[in-house]
Chains A and B, each alone.
Chain A
Amino acid sequence: MSPYTLRYFDIPVRGETAKVLLLLSGADWKLETPAWPQDKDAQPVGKLPVLIENSAEGSDAEPFVLTETGAIEYYLAAKNGYVYQPDNITLVARQLELRSHIADLCSAFVDWKLCSNDQQPKLKESYKSTAGYLVRLHEKILKENGSNSHYFGSKTTLVDVVLFANIIALRTEFAGLDPEMSQLLSEENAPEINKVINAVSAEPALAAYVAETK
């Protein structure tokens, strides 16, 4: 049995960071795509994603089952060495904060994409505002780290992965939708952010994943 099972829908955004973290970790894992809504009540809290960490072969221990995207991401990152200085609570807080900004941007996108026509202008402005603040703050933080294509230190860590997974997913979803919106996170508008995305894309463990998303 694979050590990890990730249950998610076959669509990007919420489950993507967990998938990328599992790929980077080199762990043996599989993706399960439950039938929906038939399998809804069988989930711990009626939602996806769900992470199952199966116990070792021959062990009696119960699997560890976790829900909620952020909790899953942090658990996988911490377990596999992708949290930068995990004993430094100030730096951990900063990583969680930046992760949260990126997740908020994706929520703003989903809200805009799924809204009714009369809500479109308001939610488009909301997305543009969030993107504006994210670019302003994150470009500054990336420059403060030495413009080295990483948020912290000099290797790929959690926030790099969150940015990569979410922006790649957004770009896939945005394709052909609205050029003005796509421009907000372009290389011209957000050069440091794009350097991070390119650096994570170049990780050997993600070659097949990157090829699939093109």
Chain B
Amino acid sequence: MANSTASTYTLRYFNVVGIIEPIRLLFLASKVNWTEVHPEWPQAKFDQPFGRMPVLIEKSADGSPDFVLTESRTIERYLARKYGFMPANLKDAARQEQLRDLQADVGILSNEVRLGAGDEAKERLTYLIGKLISFHTEILRENGNTGHFFGNELSYIDMSLYGFFKLIFAHPPTSIPTYVQDIKGRITPEIAKVIDNVENHLLLRDHITSNPEFYPLFK
């Protein structure tokens, strides 16, 4: 699919790693014009369509009304479909959605543990991270261990998996929890290959290497 340069994008979010790393990578991989703004919070809450961020605003060059979209994974899927990073086949697309939603589910739980949830949540997190790693590895093996989740090129889930791990690892260097350090020891070669491909992708590496705290991700 040809990349469109007709639209300009604004993304409203907080100035953190957060859940929008996959969106940032999709923008970069799609070579679109985009900018990120960080509204004052909570002052700007009521002005957002659903009282939350991220919010995507797409301005078309033809002057038609702006397209405003909320919900981080919906924004991801919109961009992934528009710029050719989602497969057209329904089952393959469903598999991408499944992998992404699994990452997000574990990401939400990881955030609860970060905020002080108890031992039961920590145990569930350790269990689900194990399941996530083994399931993602299985899909990668079925795809011939190409270092991509689908075919031989950068796909939506390559980028979202990078974003998922970056969020899990986003702790001050002096207070990295044990379960986070343990994750690095559980990464399979298949997953490491995907992350390596993302980190070295021509369109992504300037952004990725600009933050030495997270590069390389599996140091």
Q: A residues engaging B (CB < 8 A)?
A: 44-47, 64, 66-71, 74-75, 78-79, 89-90, 92-94, 96-97, 100-101, 129-130, 132-134, 137
Contact = CB atoms under 8 A, between A and B. Distances in A.
Q: Which of A69, A93, A101 has the most CB of B within 10 A?
A: A93
B86 to A, nearest CB: 9
Contact of B71 (A47, A89, A96): A96
Interface in B42-96: 49-52, 67, 69-71, 73-75, 77-78, 81-82, 90-91, 94-95
Contact of B90 (A69, A78, A92, A96): A78
Contacts of B101: 68-71
Interface residues of B, number: 29
Contacts, number: 78
A97 B91 contact: no
3 interchain residue pairs of minimum CB distance: A68-B101, A71-B97, A93-B78
A186 to B, nearest CB: 21
B98 A133 contact: no
B34 interface: no
Contacts of B98: 66-68, 71
Given A45-B135, A67-B102, A71-B94, A97 B71 contact: yes
A13 to B, nearest CB: 15
Interface in B124-143: 127-128, 131-132, 135
Contacts of B74: 93, 96-97, 100
Contacts of A64: 91
Given A46-B128, A96-B74, A97-B71, A89 B82 contact: yes
Contacts of B135: 44-45
Contacts of B90: 75, 78-79
Contacts of A68: 97-98, 101-102, 105
24 contacts: A46-B131, A64-B91, A66-B95, A66-B98, A67-B98, A68-B98, A68-B105, A70-B97, A75-B90, A75-B91, A75-B94, A89-B82, A93-B78, A93-B81, A94-B69, A96-B74, A97-B69, A97-B74, A100-B71, A100-B73, A101-B71, A129-B51, A132-B51, A133-B50
Interface string B142-182: 00000000000000000000000000000000000000000
A75 B51 CA distance: 29
Contacts of B49: 133, 137
Contacts of B52: 133
A79 B91 CA distance: 10
Given A64-B91, A75-B90, A96-B71, A89 B97 contact: no
Interface string B95-133: 101100110010000000000000000000001100110
Contacts of A44: 135
Nearest to B81: A89
A66 B102 contact: no
Contact of A66 (B67, B94, B128, B131): B94
A53 B116 CA distance: 39
Contacts of A90: 67, 78
